[in-house]
Amino acid sequence: MPFAFWKKTGDALSKTRAYFSSGLEALFSRKKDIDAETLDDLEALLIGADLGVAVTRRLIGDLKTSVERKEVSDLPALKAKLRETLLEILSKAVAPSEAVWPPVVTLFMGVNGVGKTTSIGKMAWQLKSEGKKVLLAAADTFRAGAARQLSIWGERVGAEVIRHQGEADPSAVAYDAVSAALARKADHLLIDTAGRLQTKHNLMEELKKMSRVISKQIPQAPHRKILVLDATTGQNALSQTEHFQKAASLTGIVLTKLDGTGKGGIVVPIVESLSVPVLHVGVGEGMKDLIPFDAEAFVSGLLGDEAQA
Ligand SMILES: Nc1nc2c(ncn2[C@@H]2O[C@H](COP(=O)(O)OP(=O)(O)OP(=O)(O)O)[C@@H](O)[C@H]2O)c(=O)[nH]1
Ligand SMILES: [Mg+2]
């Protein structure tokens, strides 16, 4: 993992780190060894960083055993134990690695305002800089201005945008976009969809319809179904993942706005309870601010350890 990724992940986690690792240091500034009170305070700290109740209980349970066995007695040992358990959890879910014949079709979904369109723009830029031919589809036909927002990204990164005029059916846009991607021999087609609440049944059904329509032209497509989550939403991100997972069998998550939260720990319960891998994290609003998720860099950032090359 190049140094830049470590640095960006570390920078993006600065708020989480300020909360979490400073909290850890504070626990040990009063006393040197670990007792029941330390573990209670640590439990509150973990919950506060959005690691969720189930993961926190497991971590605290493991630590209690290690303390009783005298394997863990000071801050460095406690951090090492936390690191080990967090990495174990985060390595559980892995991205699909099977080869896909181009065009690779990726459907982006998520609730309103989480950063779907921006993440598509960033991903298109990344793929373009790897020399790929990229097409974008404006299948958010709900919000006025959505297609325009995607077109601006298209111009910025040099990717053609397939859009319909006026009130269009998202599935029709998706269908045309797949035809265009095949005709132009594109490597990637990234499809933007409208923000939708996970509890709105008909909108979730619309996502299924889009998938069916896309698969009429390319049987395995959409090859990637990405849920975009906003790291600042906290525990509701879990409910979102659960509902979208049911509707679309997700292949991965893009977690945005990690730069704007002190609660970056939400990654952990998502992977732990739903086994959906976090593939990328958004660390700002610019086109270079989407970076591949790296569990080691993430855990180091969380625990406040030095970035490593
Ligand atoms: N700081 C920060 N801002 C982000 C990030 N990703 C997206 N944003 C901002 O979040 C806002 C919403 O982003 P959009 O991409 O429009 O979100 P969306 O999910 O497409 O929204 P709808 O289409 O309305 O559902 C914009 O102001 C983005 O610049 C990120 O990683 N960090
Ligand atoms: Mg959008």
- The tokens describing 225, both together, are 């179904």
For residue 308, name the pLDDT band (cuts at 50, 70, 90).
very low
Q: How far is ligand 1, taken at its centre, from the CA of residue 87, in Å?
A: 28
The answer to pTM > 0.95 is no
Pocket test for ligand 1, best of 240, 254, 285 (most atoms within 8 A of CB): 285
- Which residues are CB-contacts of 67 (< 8 A; sequence separation ≥ 6)? 34, 39, 73
For residue 91, name the pLDDT band (cuts at 50, 70, 90).
confident
Model confidence over 134-151: pLDDT tens digits? 999 999 998 889 999 999
Model confidence over 138-195: pLDDT tens digits? 999 988 899 999 999 999 999 999 999 877 899 999 999 999 999 999 999 999 999 9
Q: How far is ligand 1, taken at its centre, from the CA of residue 158, in Å?
A: 20
Model confidence over 36-86: pLDDT tens digits? 888 999 999 889 888 889 899 999 999 999 999 988 888 888 889 999 999
> CA-CA distance, 131 to 80, in Å (whole number)?
40
Does residue 1 carry a pLDDT above 60?
Answer: no
